[in-house]
Amino acid sequence: MTYRPYLAMIQESVQKDDVTFEEISPYYLYRAQREKKSFIMHDVEIGLNNSASLKLARSKSGTYSVLKKAGIPAVEHLFLLNHSSRFSKTNSYQLATDYFHSFNESVVLKQDDGSQGENVYKITSADELKIQLKALFSLHLNACLSPFYSSTYEYRIVALKGEPKLFLAKERTTSWKHNLIGGSRSKDVPPALIPSLSKIAIDTAQALELNFCSVDILDTTNGLLVLEVNEQVMLDEYIKGDPSRKEKVSAIYREAILERFKQL
């Protein structure tokens, strides 16, 4: 059994189902076993999603392109290839500048495959855009650019097998970001919004061909817009200090793990 609290919760969720975990690499790789069936668990990823969908969900611009094609409302994320790439045929700095002006000179710059709020910058000047883009490229990363939407609330919906399983609201406080680890408050979702959020989240999961994921939806003056999709369901900050939340997340992971064994 791992000593990582969130991973331990996931493993404990199926203790009564005769599922055991053999450690391959401490705190990171485990083999889940049940009777004669087994699968390797990579961090918190249990393998319900195909590899192409996983790669797609990690790309902010790729996700947006698929959602746009499917007619699902989403925040624009426009791809900026690292200028040092051997595949680069355009000037990414000029392209970024053009996007910047088209988005009313208020944008968010981030790494295209980013997560947990790292390497994310709110940009309000062309000079700052160039500096931060150069910094991202120096880390051998590709980038993407999106318009900045001022929003108090962001909603996260966990989807499993085409059904919404959990709803949470993240209320922005001192930062312009909505990360719980950065100080945002976790709140219940207003019941009136649940039907709309459910449809957007499930349509999004189906468009990306994801069986298990969480969908982040921004509440903007332009309506509800998908901000990003997380191929790994991480709710560790959400469950801290609230046993009832832990039970809900544990039940979702139990269902997901048992579904994985059914597919073997």
Beta bridge partners of 158: 166, 214
Residue 127 within any structural domain of the chain: yes
| Cα 63 to the center of its chain, rounded Å | 11
Q: Which long-range contacts (CB under 8 A, 24 or more apart) does 29-32 make?
A: 30/2, 32/257, 32/260, 32/261
Give the pLDDT of residue 34.
97
33 phi and psi angles, rounded to 5 deg: -130, 140
Are 61 and 136 within one domain? no
Residue 239 within any structural domain of the chain: no
Q: Which two tokens stand for residue 116?
A: 């947990």
4 pLDDT exceeds 90? Answer: no
Are 227 and 253 within one domain? no
Single pTM value for the model: 0.94
Residue 238 within any structural domain of the chain: no
**Lookup result for tokens 């791809």:** 79
User: 55-94, pLDDT tens digit by residue?
Assistant: 999 999 999 999 999 999 999 999 999 998 988 888 999 9
Give the pLDDT of residue 117.
72
User: 181-206, pLDDT tens digit by residue?
Assistant: 776 888 899 999 999 999 999 999 99
- For residue 79, the number of C-alpha atoms closer than 13 Å in the C-beta half-sphere is 15
What's the domain range around 31?
5-44+245-263
Give the pLDDT of residue 115.
67
| Average model confidence (pLDDT) across the chain | 94
Are 38 and 107 within one domain? no
Are 59 and 175 within one domain? yes
**Dist CA 201 CA 216 (whole Å):** 8
CA-based nearest residue to 226, from 71, 83, 81? 71
Q: Which two tokens stand for residue 52?
A: 């192409």
